[in-house]
Chains A and B, each alone.
Chain A
Amino acid sequence: MSDLLTIQNIRKTFPGVVALDDVSFSVKRGEIHTLLGENGAGKSTLMNVLTGLYHPDKGRISIAGEQVHFTSPRDSLARGIGMVHQHFMLVPAHSVFENILLALDQVPNLFNRKTYKAKIQTLINEFSLDLNLDAPVWKLSIGAQQWIELIKLLMRDCQLLILDEPTAVLTPQEADRLFSVLRRLKDRGKSIIFISHKMREVMDISDRVTILKKGRSIDTLSRGHFDESLLASLMIGRDKIPQWQKNLQMSDEIVLDIQNLSVRNDRGLADLDSFSLQLKKGEILGIAGVAGNGQKALAEVLTGLKNASQGRIMARNEDITNSNARYSYIAGIAHIPEDRKTIGIAPDMSVDENLIMKSFKSGSFRNWIFQNKKAIRRNAEEKIEQFAIKTGPDGTPVRYLSGGNIQKVIIARELSEHPSVLVALYPTRGLDIGSAEYVHKVIADGADRGMSTILIAEDLDELLKLSDRIAVMFRGKLIGYVDPRQTTREEIGLMMSGEVSGAVA
């Protein structure tokens, strides 16, 4: 097997941040090559360099032995490199067909819809995918949207496919489908760069693994020469991932009782459909479900961002549905939002300022109408140390921090007022193992202090490890509860697709 792609000594800096320091690795024809590294290790930056979105400051990229300079994605596409981005590059308002067609090269300005539809359909059938070309993208599940991205690249006959954390949004069954498709592509001689945090997948599918750490490529290992603990230790420099002891003696006191709650979205469809849930004091209640089945609406209605159209939310026998009482109660509900960069922080403001956003009115951070800069700084120093936040120089806008550190800023702020309920929406999405562990520890510590957590996550391993109970959602309804100590991934997976009702605890 010969090398399709060689990357040598790539370096890329952003204002105040060295995203890539010195990265070298190569990808052979017909191999699945995994890129493993903590967030902030530079994986996404590296892929953006490879697809021509970013220009590297230094280093060389060669394809089939020939050095190339990409100035735009057009150049890298022309050399057969295509990428499925973590945030899909699709237009939700357009049809599947339109989204795919746009990716094709050399389509004449006046084209025959039927011919192209037939061509695309052939490819869809070849991989026996279920995609309706005429449907608008916003109506499709996230899993289906990912197929569109893949079809786009295959239609262009890309030789090197890059998938950036493709399984983050899939059910276990969907992920298995994806892997079988990837293996078939590999058998046809395509090369695949696979980016993931999930060890199980990395072990399952990789021919070789390259480990990135702090913008440098540490090592490349072939199948048979790596196992989970070796990879983890290379990646984060620690041997063992600690396991949390589950908090088994939770109380029966119900702090939050959601009864037949319905929430409609902007399009008038039901995001939550007669949904019921009970949260006990001090428990971590995991919510499993494929993204887009009402988890976001649940978090938003609990934190007061959305109103319910039907049903009740009871907090300790008090009705707080859509009432003003709810807003005072909200003070006791902390929220880790899904989209940390747009909802969780004010990106252009400093770490200090972001840390006091929930409490800037309190006397401790102001002198009359003026900010008390000293107190704000002292608070920031405290939190930065307590939560091990890596920041740039004083006053660096939060947006320049890595994902894991932004998440720490949010958590530090949300937990600063000792909430009784925490609603955490995908709190570890896109985080490296080290940061994710930290988030888990914070949630588990909170439970020990009596804080109840609704943990909405997509990684089943995470839910199984952390939760005291798991509730499964499908199409805005509660399908059932399972006990994480007794259930299996398969059972939860089936419930996530709405097939079986689990034992309702």
Chain B
Amino acid sequence: MLEILLDATVRAGTPILFATLGAILNERSGIINLGIEGLMLIGALAGFSGTYLSGSLLVGILFAFAATFVAGSIHALITVQLRGNQIVSGLALTMFGVGITALFGKGMVGLTIDGFTRIAIPGLSSIPVIGKALFNQDILIYFSFLLVFLIWFFLYRTRSGMGLRTIGENPAAADTCGLSVSKYRFFAVTVGSGFVGIGGAYLSLAITPMWIENMSAGRGWIAVALVIFAGWSSPRALLGAYLFGGITAMQLRFQAMGTTISAHILQMLPYFFTILVLVISTLRLQKGASQQPEALGLPYDREDRK
């Protein structure tokens, strides 16, 4: 019973994890991205159609990454190059994602593919209780573990990562050190969007191997909130994503057990927790424990006389 629940937790948490990691990379450069929800949908559709047309899951994933990379570069163009309003551009990206996937996804509705299969890691997967949940999973989940580490390593152990963090904190300082603020930001926004896309693709390639309109169902917004909860740190994003995965898995479990609580109430739980998490992390932020990049949301204009 617990094993099944944990397994469902990890699977439900993975798309949110990818989306949160992508958003963290994004926001570390100082650019807010509220287009996560739209990017997830674009990733889900691109991943599904790529796999359907080619028959290869890998091609599907690459499709998802490429499509959201391109969509993310629109956001980057507007916010980094043109110094537009990040909130408005992000919201527009979400609406764009919802619309365009509904349009182009019409022909894909009802089709099926063979989704990802589980690969048990010998030895590790027989650890009691957590073994199955963590080490008898599909390759994308293993990749998500790796990505948590890679993003942490990039941010805290490489010079470019240090540069990216500096740009998120004080772009003028990075500029005077000779770093190109716009190049770093462009990189963070596009590659971050690509990871969000993989999160979307996980929905249509692993959880339910088909395309359903609006299938991200608000997970992108949960990711936006989780970035704050995680304090812009990738290991804590893992924690947060699985917390939400756990709540989702639990409410599904309750429904399966035939509880008398309305299914609508149960489905509301993850979103209710999102609000709760935002309240708690905001209170924490006010106590001065802020890890928010100082320059988050502020366009950088070298010649601006402030």
Residues of chain B whose beta carbon lies under 8 Å from any beta carbon of chain A: 157-160, 162-163, 165-166, 169-170, 172-180, 287-288, 291, 294, 302-303, 305-306
Contacts and interface: CB of A to CB of B under 8 A. Distances in A.
A152 B178 CA distance: 12
A51 B172 CA distance: 12
A376 to B, nearest CB: 25
Interface in A36-91: 51, 53-55, 72-74, 77-78, 83, 85, 89-91
Contacts of A85: 176
Given A53-B303, A91-B169, A93-B169, A72 B175 contact: yes
Contacts of B291: 93
A107 B96 CA distance: 41
A159 B210 CA distance: 63
Which 7 pairs show the lowest CB-CB distances between chains A and B? Answer: A74-B178, A266-B288, A89-B173, A91-B169, A103-B177, A89-B176, A73-B176
A94 interface: yes
Interface residues of A, number: 38
Contacts of B306: 341, 347, 399
Contact of A267 (B170, B175, B288): B288
A108 B173 contact: no
Contacts of B159: 101-102, 107-111
Nearest to A83: B176
A4 to B, nearest CB: 20
A399 B305 contact: yes
Contacts of A91: 165-166, 169-170, 173, 294
B13 to A, nearest CB: 29
22 contacts: A53-B176, A54-B302, A72-B302, A77-B178, A89-B173, A89-B176, A89-B177, A92-B294, A93-B291, A94-B162, A98-B166, A101-B159, A101-B162, A102-B162, A102-B177, A102-B179, A108-B159, A109-B159, A111-B158, A265-B288, A347-B306, A399-B305
Contacts of B170: 89-91
B182 to A, nearest CB: 10
A73 B173 contact: no
Given A91-B173, A108-B159, 8 more contacts: A55-B303, A72-B302, A89-B173, A89-B176, A94-B162, A94-B169, A102-B162, A102-B173
A159 B67 CA distance: 47
A219 interface: no
Contacts of A93: 169, 291, 294
Nearest to B168: A91
Nearest to B160: A109
A105 interface: yes
A106 to B, nearest CB: 10
Contacts of B294: 91-93
Contact of B176 (A51, A265, A268): A51
Interface string A333-356: 000000001000001000000000
Interface string A391-435: 000000001100000000000000000000000000000000000
Contacts of A370: none
Contacts of A102: 159, 162-163, 166, 173-174, 177, 179
